[in-house]
Structure 1
Amino acid sequence: MKRLPVPALVLTIVSAAPALVAAQPPLRIGLDTQATEWIVSLEGGGQICDRSGKPLMKLAPDEKLRIWWDSRGLSDPTAEYRIQVGKPHTAAEAATLMKRLKELGEAPDRLKIPDADTWRVVTGHFREAREAEPVLQKLQDLGFEELWVATEPRPNQPHKGRALYAVTDRYERRALPLEGVWLKPTGDLTALQGKGRYRGKVEIFPNAQGRLTVVNTLDLETYLRGVVPKEMGAWEFPNLEALKAQAVAARTYAVANRGKRAADGFDMGDTVADQVYGGRDGEQSLTDRAVQETEGLFATYGGKPIQALFMANCGGHTTDVSQVFGGEAPYLRAVPCYPAKPLTLPYSSGQPTTSEIQQPWLSWELLRLASVAIPASWLSGERLAKPASQGDLAEPVRLLQQRLGVEAQPLAREGNLYLGLARAFGFQRLVEGQERPQDAAYFLPAALPEDRLLATFLTRRGIVPASAWAASEPVPLRQALQVLGRLWQELEAFAPGEGSLLADRQVRRKRGGPEPLALASSLLLAEEGPDGSLRLVPNAEIQVGDRLKWIPGEGGPAQVLVRRLDPDGAAWDRYNPTAHWRVEYTEADLLDTVRKRIKVPGIRELKADYNDQGRVQDLTLVDTQGRPHRVHGMHIRGLLGLKDNVFRWLTVGQGASRRWIFYGRGWGHGLGMCQTGAYGMALEGASFQQILQHYYPGMNLQRVD
């Protein structure tokens, strides 16, 4: 067994430093800011109170209440358009740029990037994106690069509405305080229709945009119970160590970003813009355990909680924060998502296997027959190419008849072999009254075969190829066995067992727990390529995490084991559907996508600058007038509507008929912990401490009791 070469890790859990206080204050999570009404109910009933806790009205168990903000017509816009100038800057660079813009008659501002010590410089205030075009053109003409029309929150005063109302099931309307309400259940949960159930305190109050803000206030550890399964659920990543790494990262991110959205009346939202939070309905038992077993642990650097960024899938390698948000963070450095030496487990065949490298004749029907009815020695190209005879097939037919419990019909010694196999299992009883001579004329040659209706049935079901009826050469054994296997499938449908290999030689089926896999001593071992082709092998070093398929014997251990070569390769992050992806655009569709971000007359070409790991750092779009539009970091994937910046592309066709085909890998910004990679590391035996140390180099674990 090859063991995972994980660097030695000395884990030191230190006491709380001043940056981390022992008693973490509750978190205020924004659940929504856009609706103007909510239908609520309280577990066990309860009371609707003002935000100071003074009771206003009672709510019975299972009673629903509509809370409605009457904003007296249209509400104010929630956002405005501004022009971002350049990539993220340090404070000094931002000051220099702002000075230059002021000299040009602009009124710039700088906006801090929450997850880095860098700033965005923006200018202008526009109600519509098109209103920004004259200023955009002016700045382009003056040589400014990487200009971006961005939407920004628009500061405003609360829109004066008629009132906040509660409407009961009996359509009684009660006025509520304009400051909003606190929903206090007798039990633990507050339910928001269409949203979910929530522990802790839930408040609803009007906001500056003439809508309703919903805030859930609760303690940090309870919050994590609703975050970890939404960010890295136990169904998709059923490994405790990986989930514990996610719990520490989520806990650290929450503390480091407390107050990030204070202007909106809460600390963080419940979406991917911060951390996805699902409340009580998101909780799972395994993620609850991960939160509990890491309670009070934070990832720190220099005694302070780190910006514990993470993404779904890093595309084989993470990147440096300087290439995404700008600035520096020693623990947000580029690291590989490949093991130095994968953990593999040896498996050997107990059967004599062919030495042929190319085995295009091998199929699941033949493998299944080899598990029960034919000798493994028949599975060679030379043997299968020989003509089949009724004598060859008599014993396999008898064994299958016995297995299926059908009336024993000996295989006819004369006549068409395909028809003889079908009659041996009684299929001739199905055709009278169903198959028609006209259909036989449609499918079959005029002169063949003798039982045209049965042949039509076999052709219709895909058991015998239509072309086989006109073949003049003797039926090869391979083709005869394929037909026998398909007849078996008709009477006893089969799908192979399937699961991922674990380090202790157990397997995990999809959405299932670990289970042992018993293997026969005379095992047939095969590999399945990404294209579905099969090949017998004498032995294999199977990487932990690879998908296995198996064919069990009759009530016993598996007789056939097939290792699937993962199309996404050997990376730790290969367990995500976005490990590799392909996106195709027509010229018009790509132009529409680009125009959501920048205004261009058309696209002449794209040019990309890559880092050493194949991630696009800078992209230049040259428009049809020859003007370059430069985009950096996270804006690149947003501009092209792609999942990640790890991509290359081909173009096919010319002009308006041109198509853009992007091939890429990964999903996210590429910074910090790769969630899928954490799962891959855990499968190979890494602890949650080792996972965190790998993706956040130099971090320490610090406990706050």
Structure 2
Amino acid sequence: MKPLLVPALILSVASAPAAQPPLRIGLDTQATEWIVSLEGGGQVCDRAGKPLLKLAPDEKLRIWWDSRGASDPTSEYRIQVGRPLAAGEAEALMKRLKTLGEPADRVRVPDADTWRVLTGHFPEAPKAEPLLQKLQDLGYDELWVATEPRDSQPRKGRALYAVSDRYERRALPLGGVWLRPAGELTSLQGKGRYRGKVEIFPNAQGRLTVVNTLDLETYLRGVVPKEMGAWEFPSLEALKAQAVAARTYAVANRGKRAADGFDMGDTVADQVYGGRDGEQLLTDRAIQETEGLFATYGGKPILALFMANCGGHTVDVSQVFGGDAPYLKAAPCYPAKPLTLPFTSGAPITAEAQQSWLSWELLRLAAGIVPVEWLSGDRLARPATTEDLAAPVLALQQRLGLDPAPLSRNGHLVLALARALGLHTVVEGQERPQDAAYFLPPEVPAGDRLLAAFLTRRGIVPAALWTAKEPPALRQALLALGRMWQDLDPLTPGEGALLMDRQVRRKRGGPEPLALSPRLILAEEAPDGSLRLLPKADIQVGDRLKWISAEDGSAAVLVRRLDPDGAAWDRYNPTAHWRVEYTEADLLALVRKRIKVSGIRELRAQHNEEGRVLDLALIDSQGAAHRVRGMHIRGLLGLKDNVFRFLTLGQGARRRWVFYGRGWGHGVGMCQTGAYGMALEGATFQQILSHYYPGTDLRKVD
């Protein structure tokens, strides 16, 4: 099988790349105390390395910042005016605002060469409303109340303490401490374990900043599994692509949060980092096999943006963050031609197009209890007879380890099946005549009522069957027999994704071979759960297969599941498609967190060809338009992505807004789920990176 053909990245390897300086990762800036312990014990030092006190193995120490009053707020509210702009455009906008008596400044967008223009400083969002209204009246239609870090200076007169398990308190330097374990790990209670250097020191807001300093490759061991875990995306090539992207992002964004005392945080605002507790063996391997490799453009590491799920197509960076990057252009998340593998049924299959009669119970019976030739609408529509079912009942008794008992010719055939499997023995003392009267029509004979009620209560037989004028059809009898079998011996079909080499990968498992019975029954499951038999099928790599095993372990029945999320590479994420519904009041409350409006008259969305909303106009109840673009759109509406359509139901206060969408994230750069889908179809990590970051080189950077 040929691998997916995508232009590969150019690989340039320098002979002796310089070691990257350590990274400083901010783990927290909000708490005023931490409980810590050191692997093998160790020392608490000042930040210059001078020992202050010693900790025994497993000893816990409380680091406490005596704030002596309420801490300063760490954030404030500001009004962003317009979309991100180039430097010159941002300066011009700031001058216009200054002439209006509203001084403004600019903040660089970390993920693009653009700037956000901000004005006003407010402790609470409602206090920004007068200025918001003023700017709206002056014709600024794209406004946003943004939460921004607040600048402040540390207060004097506070103290940092260490409190031992014995409640002994010792003053620590106001500059903070360095935790030095005898082993490798420092533990922060409620947070996790961390390699490298961990420091705790007071910040300007009267809280404690925790910083983990470590080398780049060790840092990646805690990042890659958090961004693209091996349990969810167990493909080495996809994980290698993520390792390169994460390494590149880290170097390109070094110092991004220098004002806070570290390079980057450990959340989705930068890259999710889980320390030692996040590490996995397969992601460790991906990092090792790409050690030192960066995606570059013009010899420099790129802004390697990525998101969970692109919704079928990525988007140009200019339409989200502003600016322009040749390697952050829109890219499809669909193969030009899906990679499929042929499968053929080894059993005679009916040619009927619609097979509404087919069920998992019938497929299970056809895997060795009844002849596969019975799986025909005409055959199953015939009246069932004792002669038909005698052999299947005997085979099922043997399979279940029951003593052989002949199928009675007296009474209702379905009740005879139940008695042959011993279900009548569980009725006495369990079922009551009152329950039978509740479940059953009065026509059911007295001697059959308790067993019939039991079968009805268990969902094995519909109540209408007991009063049918015609004898049960073979399909009805087999369906009842199959459900009795399921009740006595529940079947969980095997399940796994189809791989290129015709192996399967179970969830949270590795690749494994799937032997097929020579008499294989091939079927297909639609998104609504309905089944149909197939004489043959070209099954797309990555599709989920279900199978029922024969007694020798081979797959006697193979069912291909038509993925409800379609054929895209990014269909393996639960958010490939989604639906969100709001009441009028809920949507209005959500919008008012960002924009001051009295009500919502309508939403007008401008879509690109891939269905992504690039520009949203909210028309308020007064008829004024409020424009929102890029990242702000999904934030305003509380949606996972900008790929959506919507409809409204009802009128006035009873109106409901229903959004149908796909994807999760900003849509720029590498689609993580798409990378996994590409890898399933045979793409290498170089090909994955080339597809999502076109024109880049893969090299070791000096």
1:402 aligns with 2:401: no
Shift of 1:11: 3.0
Question: Contact 2:309–2:673 (CA<8 Å) still a contact in 1?
Answer: yes
Q: Which amino acid aligns with 2:522?
A: L
TM-aligned CA distance change 1:595 to 1:10, over 3 Å: closer
Q: Which amino acid aligns with 1:15?
A: A
Equivalent in the alignment of 1:461? 458
Shift of 1:224: 0.4
1:492 aligns with 2:503: no
Shift of 1:75: 1.2
Equivalent in the alignment of 1:230? 226
Equivalent in the alignment of 2:619? 622
Question: Contact 2:132–2:596 (CA<8 Å) still a contact in 1?
Answer: no
The superposition leaves residues 546-582 of structure 1 with CA deviations (integer Å, 9 ceiling, x where unpaired) of: 0000000113311100000000000000000000000
TM-aligned CA distance change 1:62 to 1:10, over 3 Å: closer
Matches within 5 A, 1:319-338: 319-338=315-334
1:156 aligns with 2:152: yes
The whole-number CA distance in structure 2 between the counterparts of 1:412 and 1:34 is 75
Shift of 1:16: 8.0
The superposition leaves residues 69-103 of structure 1 with CA deviations (integer Å, 9 ceiling, x where unpaired) of: 00101011211211111001111111111111111
Q: Secondary structure at the match of 1:651?
A: strand
Equivalent in the alignment of 1:354? 350
1:180 aligns with 2:171: no
Equivalent in the alignment of 1:239? 235
The whole-number CA distance in structure 2 between the counterparts of 1:7 and 1:555 is 41
Shift of 1:7: 2.9
The whole-number CA distance in structure 2 between the counterparts of 1:601 and 1:498 is 52
Equivalent in the alignment of 2:433? 437
Shift of 1:10: 5.9
1:655 aligns with 2:655: no
Q: Which of 503, 507, 514 is 2:504 aligned to?
A: 507
Equivalent in the alignment of 2:6? 7
Q: Which of 597, 608, 621 is 2:605 aligned to?
A: 608
Shift of 1:402: 1.3
Shift of 1:609: 0.8
Q: Which amino acid aligns with 1:644?
A: D
The whole-number CA distance in structure 2 between the counterparts of 1:529 and 1:333 is 35
Q: Secondary structure at the match of 2:367?
A: helix
Equivalent in the alignment of 1:191? 187
The superposition leaves residues 511-558 of structure 1 with CA deviations (integer Å, 9 ceiling, x where unpaired) of: 011111010011100000000000001000001110000000113311
Equivalent in the alignment of 2:562? 565
The whole-number CA distance in structure 2 between the counterparts of 1:249 and 1:490 is 50
1:519 aligns with 2:520: no
Question: Contact 1:16–1:22 (CA<8 Å) still a contact in 2?
Answer: no
Shift of 1:412: 1.1
Equivalent in the alignment of 2:363? 367
The whole-number CA distance in structure 1 between the counterparts of 2:548 and 2:157 is 68
Shift of 1:126: 1.5
Q: Which amino acid aligns with 2:615?
A: D
TM-score, structure 1 as length reference: 0.98
Equivalent in the alignment of 1:532? 529
Give the root-mean-square deviation of aligned CA atoms.
Answer: 1.2
Q: Which amino acid aligns with 2:12?
A: I
1:686 aligns with 2:691: no
Equivalent in the alignment of 2:372? 376
Shift of 1:414: 2.6
Q: Secondary structure at the match of 1:395?
A: helix
Q: Which moved more, 1:607-616 or 1:685-694?
A: 607-616
Q: Which amino acid aligns with 1:493?
A: P
1:127 aligns with 2:102: no
The whole-number CA distance in structure 2 between the counterparts of 1:447 and 1:82 is 75
1:587 aligns with 2:588: no
The whole-number CA distance in structure 1 between the counterparts of 2:519 and 2:111 is 57
**Residue ranges of structure 1 left out of the alignment (5+ in a row):** none
Q: Which amino acid aligns with 1:660?
A: W
Matches within 5 A, 1:405-424: 405-424=401-420
Q: Which amino acid aligns with 2:388?
A: D
TM-aligned CA distance change 1:403 to 1:690, over 3 Å: same
The whole-number CA distance in structure 1 between the counterparts of 2:180 and 2:3 is 51
The whole-number CA distance in structure 2 between the counterparts of 1:298 and 1:334 is 21
Q: Which moved more, 1:110-119 or 1:35-44?
A: 110-119
Question: Contact 1:241–1:687 (CA<8 Å) still a contact in 2?
Answer: yes
Question: Contact 1:81–1:125 (CA<8 Å) still a contact in 2?
Answer: yes
Equivalent in the alignment of 1:292? 288
TM-aligned CA distance change 1:25 to 1:350, over 3 Å: same
The whole-number CA distance in structure 1 between the counterparts of 2:161 and 2:555 is 66
Equivalent in the alignment of 1:41? 37
TM-aligned CA distance change 1:58 to 1:30, over 3 Å: same
Shift of 1:172: 0.1
Q: Secondary structure at the match of 2:648?
A: strand
Q: Which of 574, 581, 587 is 1:577 aligned to?
A: 574
The whole-number CA distance in structure 1 between the counterparts of 2:305 and 2:623 is 38
Q: Secondary structure at the match of 1:148?
A: strand
Question: Contact 2:4–2:683 (CA<8 Å) still a contact in 1?
Answer: no
Q: Secondary structure at the match of 2:92?
A: helix
Shift of 1:161: 4.3
1:304 aligns with 2:303: no
Q: Which of 159, 163, 168 is 1:167 aligned to?
A: 163
Question: Contact 2:9–2:697 (CA<8 Å) still a contact in 1?
Answer: no
Question: Contact 2:10–2:696 (CA<8 Å) still a contact in 1?
Answer: no
Question: Contact 1:70–1:161 (CA<8 Å) still a contact in 2?
Answer: no
The superposition leaves residues 261-314 of structure 1 with CA deviations (integer Å, 9 ceiling, x where unpaired) of: 000000000000000000000000000000000001000000000000000000
Question: Contact 2:602–2:619 (CA<8 Å) still a contact in 1?
Answer: yes
Q: Secondary structure at the match of 1:295?
A: coil
Shift of 1:430: 1.2
Question: Contact 1:114–1:260 (CA<8 Å) still a contact in 2?
Answer: yes
Q: Which amino acid aligns with 1:13?
A: S
Question: Contact 1:161–1:210 (CA<8 Å) still a contact in 2?
Answer: no
Q: Which amino acid aligns with 2:415?
A: L
Q: Secondary structure at the match of 1:41?
A: strand
1:212 aligns with 2:208: yes
Q: Secondary structure at the match of 1:512?
A: coil
Shift of 1:5: 4.2
Identity %: 79
Q: Which amino acid aligns with 2:208?
A: L
Question: Contact 1:75–1:159 (CA<8 Å) still a contact in 2?
Answer: no
Q: Which amino acid aligns with 2:8?
A: L
Question: Contact 2:125–2:593 (CA<8 Å) still a contact in 1?
Answer: no
Q: Secondary structure at the match of 1:248?
A: helix
Question: Contact 1:16–1:704 (CA<8 Å) still a contact in 2?
Answer: no
The whole-number CA distance in structure 2 between the counterparts of 1:514 and 1:467 is 46
Equivalent in the alignment of 2:69? 73
Shift of 1:14: 4.1
TM-aligned CA distance change 1:10 to 1:232, over 3 Å: closer
Q: Which amino acid aligns with 1:254?
A: A
The whole-number CA distance in structure 2 between the counterparts of 1:399 and 1:81 is 73
Q: Which amino acid aligns with 2:426?
A: L
The whole-number CA distance in structure 2 between the counterparts of 1:641 and 1:333 is 25
Shift of 1:316: 0.3
The whole-number CA distance in structure 1 between the counterparts of 2:701 and 2:9 is 19
The whole-number CA distance in structure 1 between the counterparts of 2:159 and 2:443 is 87
The whole-number CA distance in structure 2 between the counterparts of 1:12 and 1:511 is 32
Question: Contact 2:43–2:181 (CA<8 Å) still a contact in 1?
Answer: yes
Q: Which of 262, 268, 276 is 2:264 aligned to?
A: 268
Shift of 1:382: 0.9
Q: Secondary structure at the match of 2:10?
A: coil
